[in-house]
Structure 1
Amino acid sequence: MENNTEKVQCLIIGSGPAGYSAAIYAARANLKPVLYQGIQPGGQLTITTEVENYPGYPDGISGPEMMIQFEKQATRMGADIRYGLATKVDFMEPPFKVWIDEEKLILADTVIVSTGASAKWLGLESEQRLNGYGVSACAVCDGFFFKGKEVAIVGGGDTAAEEALYLSKLCSKVHMLVRSDKMRASKIMQDRVLKAPNIKVYWNSSTDEVLGENKVEAVRIKNHLTNELLEIPVSAFFVAIGHQPNSEIFKGWLDMDESGYITTIPGTSRTNIEGVFAAGDIQDKHYRQAVTAAGSGCMAALDAEKYLMLQGEL
């Protein structure tokens, strides 16, 4: 076999809680998994400062630290963790072909896709600078830290409405910024938002800037109709304009929904291609939590092990 071609039993693409959990289980099942970490080793949790809702950490833990622990555990079990990005695949028949960084070719008996989804951002410099210091793309993860305070949330879909309602139970006031004169959210969610006494909706409004030196102190918004600028003092700024699944290279091979999330057979991690499995946020747009991603990573490793046994490869 050529130098830049390698044969493996189980290839895991992506390294958030789903990928690392799959690696832990696959290594213990002696599948000798190789995991490529992708563009953001550790996934979305590496941009989360504090994780308080993952079981087993009574004092909480920082997202990056937690991912280092996941990686260490996978390595200790015997998983081969590598830097590198999957850039192209060919799932025509097993062994499946996956190119890493456009040059190395991996031939894999099974593939676990755990490439996750990335939060969509507005693209403001201040938003990136204060990310983790009051700017967040996950109200369920970070809302708790702003209990009793005033916060802002941007978005007009169901997720934004759900997160605004979630925040309204914790925070003294929620300022909701909606780009147009109506929400995209379902009627029932809109009604709930508009009935909530401590949610104030700003229509036809976009974010001009998130203000604050080392932490969020205010948000400056612009009204499209009047061009008027308004500064609202807030302690946190939540972005809820959707997520983008990192599924581009699998298009044409794996079945996906209209948003690009990989579809799995309900109750399993199996895709439309036997031997290829999907775990974590790449196939879950509903829960998107570290603990659910880890659980689905475990499922994918067990499904891969069963598949290899049935193929007589184990």
Structure 2
Amino acid sequence: MTVNDGVRDVVIVGSGPAGLTAAIYTARATLAPLVIEGEPSSTSDQPGGQLMLTTEVENFPGFVDGIMGPELMATMRAQAARFGAEFLTTRATRVDLSERPFRVWAPDPATGAEVEHRARAVIVSTGARSLMLGVDGERELLGYGVSTCATCDGFFFRGHQIAVVGGGDSALEEAMFLTKFADTVTIVHRRSELRASKIMQERAFANPKIRFVWDSVVSGVVGDTKLERVRLHNLVTDEDSELEVTGLFVAIGHAPNSDLFKGQLDLDDAGYIKTLADSSFTTVPGVFACGDVQDHVYRQAITAAGSGCMAAIDAERWLEAEAHQATS
């Protein structure tokens, strides 16, 4: 193991919209951030985050005709680099936030040797991952009919036949939203009754566009260049069938990428990093969290970017206060 010389002002762990926005702001504040952006081969913490798995993004302000997710992330990364942010294309493997300077370890991309990076402040922006079905064709058609976000992609399915997988409040919320665009929305649930709240169930059952397939799971996703149909397996009758749809929304939950910080930062019961009210401050002074790793409500690129701005400003002001206190 080697140790990088010197102590940086800021190390940012993660490089989705939150991390890259934090990098832009801290770099412009001359804090020379190091961004440990993740591994290209990873599905959970790859550089650019979940937008790297998205095709067209039409709800990010400033792009009238939309923009491809990877292109948006590349543009944000280039903007941060222009102001002096440094990028390390590897994943952080462990952290020590028990004392200052904080320490973050990551393998060297060239040699694989573990390197220790020290920082006065750390911004955590490792994001979250959508739980997937793990069936054939799902990954290949993600962004080509398969989606994990109705708010992001529902507009593209105007007049389509859509399926939603799940039985909780999130699944029913997605289904209700999608009825604004789709001709029909079929909810596929592995049980004979929903887990969602009674009020959500009543609304779904009353919606004429919503149909239900009970006791069933999606066993496969079919399509050459875009989704054409899904394969279903009934868990009670053991029968297989197919459902012709051009949209499949997976709504079985999300998981924050916070394992690295267990025992170091306070997490809620679902694993999201806790931040103090109206700020990005965690319970460890000098450590800030932003984006989907601490937001289980909105989960949008624009809200992640906004919270990345908050974290950068909070970190800058905290470092300035610490420096002033040290010299007074």
TM-score range relative to shorter protein: over 0.9
Unaligned segments of structure 2, at least 5 residues: 40-45, 108-112
Amino acid in the other structure paired with 2:188: L
Q: Spell out structure 1 runs of 4+ moving beyond 6 A.
A: none
Match of 1:25, SS state, is helix
**Structure 2 residue aligned with 1:208:** 219
Match of 1:129, SS state, is coil
1:97-246 correspondence to structure 2 within 5 Å: 97-101=103-107, 103-246=114-257
Shift of 1:169: 1.3
Give the Cα–Cα distance (whole angstroms) in 1 for the partners of residues 3 and 16 of structure 2: 29
Match of 2:63, SS state, is coil
Q: Determine whether 1:95 maps to 2:97.
A: no
Q: Calculate the TM-score normalised by the size of structure 2.
A: 0.93
Q: Determine whether 1:17 maps to 2:23.
A: no
Q: Is the 8 A contact 2:4 2:118 kept in 1?
A: no
Please give the per-residue CA displacement for 1:153-195, whole angstroms capped at 9, x wherever unaligned. 1011111111011111110000110111122222211111111
Match of 1:227, SS state, is coil
Give the Cα–Cα distance (whole angstroms) in 2 for the partners of residues 216 and 177 of structure 1: 16
**Structure 1 residue aligned with 2:282:** 271
Match among 295, 298, 314 for residue 306 of structure 2: 295
**For this pair of structures, how many residues does the alignment match?**
314
Match among 300, 304, 309 for residue 315 of structure 2: 304
Please give the per-residue CA displacement for 1:135-157, whole angstroms capped at 9, x wherever unaligned. 11111111111101101110111
Shift of 1:272: 0.4
Q: Determine whether 1:284 maps to 2:290.
A: no
Identity of aligned residues (%): 52
Shift of 1:218: 0.9
Shift of 1:230: 2.2
Unaligned segments of structure 1, at least 5 residues: none
Shift of 1:6: 4.9
Give the Cα–Cα distance (whole angstroms) in 2 for the partners of residues 43 and 224 of structure 1: 34
RMSD value over aligned CA atoms? 1.5
Q: Calculate the TM-score normalised by the size of structure 1.
A: 0.97
Match among 57, 63, 70 for residue 51 of structure 1: 57
Shift of 1:61: 0.2
Give the Cα–Cα distance (whole angstroms) in 1 for the partners of residues 322 and 199 of structure 2: 49
Give the Cα–Cα distance (whole angstroms) in 2 for the partners of residues 177 and 64 of structure 1: 30
Amino acid in the other structure paired with 1:84: T
* Higher mean displacement: 170-179 or 5-14: 5-14
Q: Is the 8 A contact 1:247 1:282 kept in 2?
A: yes
Give the Cα–Cα distance (whole angstroms) in 2 for the partners of residues 235 and 179 of structure 1: 21
